[in-house]
Structure 1
């Protein structure tokens, strides 16, 4: 999981936005519209990054369908120290 976190959150295009989504989801579960508004991102951009985060078992939906809110998975919470290291090395600020 640590290598997945480093790759998805730092080594790929859009990593900063994915990191921002993860940190925001840890603060409070949100849906795509809420992420877009709170982080000042385009809705389609948020949807793309949410899909990447879900595919890599970093975020999970609390419910299915439109309006689903997302939170970090238990695997990510178990490796949260890695997220903190990534956050410390990035330019991303906590919301």
Structure 2
């Protein structure tokens, strides 16, 4: 999981926004539309981030319809300290 986190948040474009997605979902589960509004990005962009994070086990879907809620996975939450270390690098690089 640690390698996947470094890849997702530092090695690809959009890492800073994926950090924002995780922080938003940590507040409460959201669907893609809510997340797009929260982050001020297009719906398709929010879906792209969610799909990528789901593919790497960071988020999981709470259903399969339009208003599906997304949650942080237990596996990801077990690596919360590593995520915070990575997020600090991302936040420093984007300032």
The aligned residue for residue 75 of structure 1 is: 75
Helix, strand or coil for the counterpart of 1:90?
Answer: helix
- Once the two structures are superposed, what CA deviation does each residue of 1:41-73 show, in whole Å capped at 9, x if it has no partner? 111111111110101111001222211111111
Structure 1 portions without partners, runs of 5+: none
> What CA distance in whole angstroms lies between the structure 1 residues aligned with 2:65 and 2:45?
18
Structure 2 portions without partners, runs of 5+: none
The aligned residue for residue 58 of structure 1 is: 58
TM-score normalised to structure 2 length: 0.90
Give the number of equivalent residue pairs: 92
The aligned residue for residue 34 of structure 1 is: 34
User: What do you get for the CA RMSD once the two structures are aligned?
Assistant: 1.2
The Cα shift of 1:90 comes to 2.2
The Cα shift of 1:29 comes to 0.3
> What CA distance in whole angstroms lies between the structure 1 residues aligned with 2:27 and 2:88?
17
